[in-house]
Amino acid sequence: MAEEADLSLGREVGSFQTAADKVALGDLEIRKRFARDIMWLFVAANAFVFVALGIVFWRDNAQLAAHQVGPDQRVIDGKVIMSLLGATTVQLGAAIYTITRAIFPLRAGV
């Protein structure tokens, strides 16, 4: 009896990959990991800021309730909130730009 060859589609497709294809697939994985890590860093940094802001806000309200500070001496006011909103918007834009450039790099000639 003739020996039966053990064939599978994955092995056959893998045999047609060139070195450039394997490098491109590895590069894609690195880019996806980079994007994921940047997003987690963004989320963690903003979570830390919001927790710290919550603690300061709580202390601010406690001091106001105890009449230790006046309303004009608050730590958290409209300027702080607007600054945080602006900084978060800039951070998000920078993170999206960085991820986009990492995943879809410009060609050398373009």
Q: For the segment 83-98, what is each residue's pLDDT rounded down to a tens digit?
A: 988 888 898 888 888 8
- What SS3 state is found at 17? coil
Domain spans of the chain, in order of start: 9-103
pLDDT band at 16 (very low <50, low <70, confident <90, very high): low
- Rounded distance between C-alpha atoms, residue 85 and residue 91, angstroms: 10
pLDDT score of 4 more than 60: no
Cα separation, 76 vs 53, in Å, equals 8
* Better-scored residue on pLDDT, 3 or 104: 104
pLDDT, one tens digit per residue, over 41-88 is 888 888 888 888 889 889 988 998 998 988 888 888 888 888 988 888
Long-range Cβ pairs for the range 6-15 (8 Å, 24+)? none
